[in-house]
Amino acid sequence: MGEFLQDKVVVVSGVGPGLGRSIAVRSALAGADIVLAARTESVLAEVAEEVAKTGRRAVAVPTDITDDASAEKLVKVALESFGRVDTLVNNAFAIPPMDDLVNVDLDAIRTGFETNVYAALRLTRLFAPELAETGGSVVMINSVVLRHSKPTFGPYKMAKASLLALAQSLSTELGPKGVRVNTVAPGYIWTDGLKAYFEYLASERGVPAQQVYDEVAAGIDLRRLPGPDEVADAVVFLASPLARAVTGHCLDVNGGEFHH
């Protein structure tokens, strides 16, 4: 990874076993110290240990990003630990209700927005003064759902389209302060969760899991599903000086499934 983020401090929200973990570890391999935020302490501890193995420092902060006081504490601990923040990665995600918009429960959509949109705004506003100090950046994790309108994905697309609009508007607002705001939109990510899902689909049909994988991969230009590290590397790029003139942008990382 070189030293794209040498001695920078990266805050990652929504640290889980998949993409959140990869963003943390790949940022550390690029030279950054990491602030890990999530609700599950056991996951935080595991990822913190992995970061430590790279030789960089990690601080794990149990955080409910939908709560003002908890989010404010995250900022306080980040600054007490490292004295600066260079990048905020808004990776936290709550699965929206998977239902057609004509049927979906509106309260369920509102609940999804709390984590998927409002929490990203809350964290960005809280970290904005520190990011202005360092000429830092924000990276929002979005989704390929921006590129299609399949049935039952309406509430999901509503949340992610709103997150994209948020990122673009924040780019315009924070740009004069030297803060960049960008978006990464992954498609399929080949994680343990997706592997288990493909195995389930395969067992339902009585076919090998590899067949399900091959059928999905056939619709992707590279004929394979990107892994979490490959998506995380796009985040590292946008956080790094290599992307110093890039802001308000959405980078699709989907192996060529959709062209934007």
What does pLDDT average to over the chain? Answer: 97
Q: Is there a single domain that holds both residue 83 and residue 198?
A: no
Q: Is there a single domain that holds both residue 133 and residue 174?
A: yes
Q: Is there a single domain that holds both residue 214 and residue 184?
A: no
Is 156 marked active-site?
Answer: yes
Q: Is there a single domain that holds both residue 74 and residue 40?
A: yes
Q: Which residue carries 């609009």 as its tokens?
A: 165
Computed from CA positions of residues 256, 30, 241, 63, in that sequence, does the dihedral angle turn out positive or negative? positive
- Could you say which DSSP state residue 176 is in? G
Helix (H/G/I), strand (E/B), else coil: 55: coil
Q: Is there a single domain that holds both residue 138 and residue 207?
A: no
Q: Is there a single domain that holds both residue 31 and residue 91?
A: yes
Confidence at residue 17, expressed as pLDDT on a 0 to 100 scale: 87
Report, as an integer, the average pLDDT of 101-116.
Answer: 95
41-53 helix and 19-29 helix, angle to the nearest 10 degrees: 30
Q: Is there a single domain that holds both residue 53 and residue 81?
A: yes
Count of the separate structural domains present in the chain: 2
Percent of the chain, pLDDT > 90? 97
Pure H helices in the chain: 19-29, 41-53, 68-82, 106-113, 119-134, 154-174, 192-205, 209-217, 228-239
Q: Is there a single domain that holds both residue 162 and residue 145?
A: yes
Confidence at residue 3, expressed as pLDDT on a 0 to 100 scale: 82
Q: Is there a single domain that holds both residue 33 and residue 162?
A: yes
Residue 169 lies inside a defined structural domain of this protein: yes
Q: Judging by DSSP bridges, how do beta strands 87-90 and 180-186 pair with one another?
A: unpaired
Question: What pLDDT, in 10s, does the model give residues 187-228?
Answer: 999 999 999 999 999 999 999 999 999 999 999 999 999 999
What's the pTM?
0.96
| Active-site residue (options: 118, 156, 188, 197) | 156
- Structural contact between residues 162 and 111, judged by C-beta atoms closer than 8 angstroms: no
Residue 260 lies inside a defined structural domain of this protein: no
Distance CA 141, CA 92 (A): 8
Computed from CA positions of residues 139, 141, 144, 150, in that sequence, does the dihedral angle turn out positive or negative? negative
Residue 258 lies inside a defined structural domain of this protein: no
Q: Is it the case that residue 2 has pLDDT exceeding 70? A: no
Range of the domain at 211: 190-225
